[in-house]
A and B are shown apart, each in its own frame.
With several copies, the nearest count.
Chain A
């Protein structure tokens, strides 16, 4: 298959091919196909319930799929023989609700996975944590507990936690929708920085302005299908009435 060949050459990092997925009687993904090249930022937009989160979660194998194929960094995600933990070392995922571990300090949150999973030494992991926190502008909070941070700071810490694993791809699922407009700004700035550094990213977002300014490619999902697909330009000149309507009400 061509997608896999592409991965081998290093061009395509994430590829979904004709993915189907149902929850019971509900068809949530109905033949979804898209791919993401190394260093690109792909934004997934669409109505609530259109399957955006599910698509993202399938990429990191948080959901199984019914048919189709997903390849991430050359790994077939739904191969039963897949080394799940290896996949997750390559892929970082950040959710809407931060999900920092409340019983650990920010530093411990960040060093946990590198020391446990990669066997990084404590000292080195701490060094990496410091670097990751600097990247998201949170160096002064390293010894704090999550509940001592504002929502935006927590979200940035969660991003740093994923970054410390040095993933090849980052997945973001509506990482700003629990935040007020001001805190949203902080987080988006961090993501912009990552994009500028050339990180490959897939993000589900409701922030059209942000998608416009950062996305290399945009996927508009509608009823479990990829309804439009193109560069950020589709956000200004939609070609289907559904996307036009979505953008119209979107603000």
Chain B
């Protein structure tokens, strides 16, 4: 044990960072699809669907991601479903991100003024046409900045995938620190790498916000 930081360690960290990016993309795509469904379900004309979706959101938003990951990876096999670490991480992140993005997007859809719905209705557009042609295009514009902002949280939260065996950035740093015992140095490096991944995304979301003149009211995880 011991030694000092060498190029192998840095390569190991870089590999971890790649997993961080990969998992983030999976989370964004999977969570995005789930979030879309959740958002539509939350404003569904059917009461049962609305309640179901609201319950899902409440449950997921009240549970730490770590626990969700754990229960997905180790809780499904006894039910006869085998999951690889990648599947487990993807499913958990999808379920988790879907709940948050769904809520964010529902807010955006609802913030399109009611008069726009009525105007579209008055023009005899069907419900689907109203949604697709009038409401969603406007909601997408509103939703872009908070969605990009939430991306930052996804990037940081993928660190919890270590529980299913992923050696992503944070876990890679931990493993190296456990060999070298240089916590200050190593965590500083990790902080810098995360910052380098997240800051451009934050900046982008701010730029988008500024271009819409809309203050940020979205929620972020720590």
Contacts and interface: CB of A to CB of B under 8 A. Distances in A.
Contacts of B116: 99, 101
A18 interface: no
A112 interface: yes
A62 B119 CA distance: 10
A246 interface: no
Q: Which of A60, A91, A99 has the most CB of B within 10 A?
A: A99
A101 B134 contact: yes
B119 A116 contact: no
A101 B119 contact: yes
B115 A88 contact: no
Contact of B138 (A97, A101, A112): A101
B138 A60 contact: no
B141 interface: yes
A117 interface: yes
Interface stretch (B23-31, B102-110, B121-129, B178-186): B121-129
A92 B119 CA distance: 10
A73 B133 CA distance: 28
A102 interface: yes
B220 interface: no
B122 A103 contact: no
A104 B133 CA distance: 10
B137 interface: yes
Q: Which of A62, A101, A104, A161 has the most CB of B within 10 A?
A: A101
Interface string A158-169: 100110010000
A89 B124 CA distance: 6
B115 A117 contact: no
Interface of A: 60, 62, 85-86, 88-89, 91-93, 95, 97, 99-104, 112-113, 116-117, 158, 161-162, 165
26 contacts: A60-B122, A62-B122, A85-B124, A85-B126, A88-B121, A88-B123, A91-B122, A92-B122, A93-B122, A95-B115, A95-B119, A99-B113, A99-B115, A99-B119, A100-B119, A103-B137, A112-B125, A112-B133, A112-B134, A116-B126, A116-B129, A116-B133, A117-B124, A117-B126, A165-B123, A165-B124
Given A60-B122, A93-B122, A165-B124, 9 more contacts: A62-B121, A85-B124, A88-B122, A89-B124, A91-B122, A95-B118, A101-B134, A117-B123, A117-B125
